[in-house]
Amino acid sequence: MAEWIMAALILLGGFFCFVAGFGVLRLPDVLMRMHASTKAGTLGSGLILVAVAIYFGDLATITRAVAAILFLLITAPVAAHMIGRAAFRVGVPLWKTHIEDGAEEKLRR
């Protein structure tokens, strides 16, 4: 039964990592690409790390996998926020939508 769970976790993790890579290639602007890479990439990596922890099953590996997952969950949103903020402030062109929130005037000060 553990093999089936590990296989499912690895396949799901691989799928989400593929979706993250595909999103980076296909989405129109830096903010959307950043969102795809951080959300789907973190989920995919986390699922694969859970499968690794189940496979090896010893305390050292489980501890390292949990630490790596926590590190990803803590650092990915902060890094994405900083990259998005820097891209916005530098003036990287964004995808034009019909909804404008006026953030440019507030953040350019």
Q: What share of the chain is helix, strand, coil (3-state, %, to 5)?
A: 80, 0, 20
Q: How confident is the model at residue 29 (pLDDT cuts 50, 70, 90)?
A: confident
Res 104: pLDDT: 64
Domain limits, the chain: 2-107
Position 96 scores a pLDDT of 76
**Separation of alpha carbons 11 and 109, rounded Å:** 46
* 70-97 average pLDDT score: 88
Pick the CATH number of 2-107 from 1.20.1250, 3.30.980, 1.10.287, 1.10.3470: 1.10.287
Share of the chain above pLDDT 70, in %: 88
